[in-house]
Amino acid sequence: MDTERASPRYSDIDLWEPSDILDAMIEGQMTAVAAVRAVLVQIERAARATEMRLRDGGRLIYVGAGTSGRLAVQDGAELVPTFNWPPDRLLLLIAGGKEALLRSTEGAEDETDQALRLVEQNRISSPDVVIAVAASGTTPFTLACLRGAKRRGALTVGIANNRETPILDEADCAIPLDTGPEPIAGSTRMKAGTAQRVTLNLLSSLVMIRLGRVHEGLMVDVQAINNKLMRRSEHILRRLTGRSGHDVADALRRADGSVKLAVLLLHGCSPEDAAKVLQRAGGRLRTALQHIGKYESRTQAAAPDLSTIAEELPTALGSESTGKVGR
């Protein structure tokens, strides 16, 4: 197994000069990124499959143990504040439960019975998407979750750093990260961990973009849960609409903090019509704005009746129905 193999190149790394050690480790980080670049096709394939399941109301479920589990949980947890992903459509499963987020939990990664119980208790099924991450590709807890979820009809995405391992062989979408041996043998928090983190970031971000949660490179679904994010929401609105700070603040207030709805309000929609337009546009702000624009261009003689816009839009592509960490 490459991630566990000791490389002769690093056999005397403890005798090297600090600068040489750092050079070797940064080179390893670049190798990790190169390993991700080599599988962009597989990442795209997984993202497209994930998008289709989530449009049908499915959940995103992250599974892992140890370092891989903590990286998976981190990626999933960030989707709520960044993209306002519904917490009830997010499930984070790490071997050893919440305690394993802060310290190593010995033996938890071998608890296959617990893994299967979690699959049953959380009623994982189609159209859910399970993203299983393990450097070895053989971690019993993670593999049991993947197998159990797949039997129940969920889409499974496997991410591992060793080829021809069960997690990759049995996943619907396999993403192999060929990072090779670590400068410190078996320390997969290094190259393997970096490659996993980059892959998870690319995969989830592409899915969120495809689901319409990014507009003109901006986080238009950002959840304004603190002062910093409120300021960011106001900045996004000013940039998209060119309106004054007072108008922006008022629109955000009337839209209950939703940037997308606030944009539509600033284009003349009522709160009720804005919600209908956005729903019929499948959550895509660009689509909603395009239809408003077409409607206005067809009725130059009179102000548009915005209550009819929602009826003209295509049917919604999907609906959105507490991200929780489970053991």
Q: What's the rounded Cα separation, in Å, for the pair 295 and 176? A: 48
Positions in the chain whose pLDDT score sits under 70: 106, 294-327
Q: Which of 78, 170, 296, 320 is catalytic?
A: 78
State what percent of residues in the chain have pLDDT above 90. 72
Tell me whether residue 51 is one of the annotated catalytic residues.
Answer: no
Q: What is the pLDDT of residue 215?
A: 93
Distances (CA, A) of 240 to 216, 264, 267, 286, 317: 9, 11, 11, 11, 24
CB 222 within 8 A of CB 229: yes
109 belongs to the catalytic site: yes
3-state secondary structure of 148: helix
Tell me how far apart the alpha carbons of residues 291 and 314 are, in angstroms, rounded to a whole number.
10
Sheet strand arrangement including 155-160: 173-176, 155-160, 129-134, 60-64, 90-94, 324-326
SS3 252: helix
pLDDT at res. 306: 46
pLDDT given at position 326: 60
Position 6 scores a pLDDT of: 85
**pLDDT value at residue 106:** 67
- CA quadruple 52, 55, 56, 61: dihedral sign: positive
Q: What is the pLDDT of residue 140?
A: 96
Contact status, residue 194 vs residue 33, Cβ threshold 8 Å: yes
Confidence at residue 309, expressed as pLDDT on a 0 to 100 scale: 42
Q: Report the Cα–Cα distance between both ends of the chain, in Å, rounded.
A: 27
- Choose among 231, 198, 220, 163: nearest CA to 1: 163
CA 19, CA 69: separation in Å to the nearest integer?
31
- Overall pTM > 0.95: no
pLDDT of residue 324: 56
pLDDT of residue 183: 87
> Which domains does the chain possess?
8-211 (3.40.50.10490), 227-312 (1.10.8.1080)
Active-site position among 51, 109, 111, 234: 109
Predicted local confidence at residue 198, as pLDDT: 98
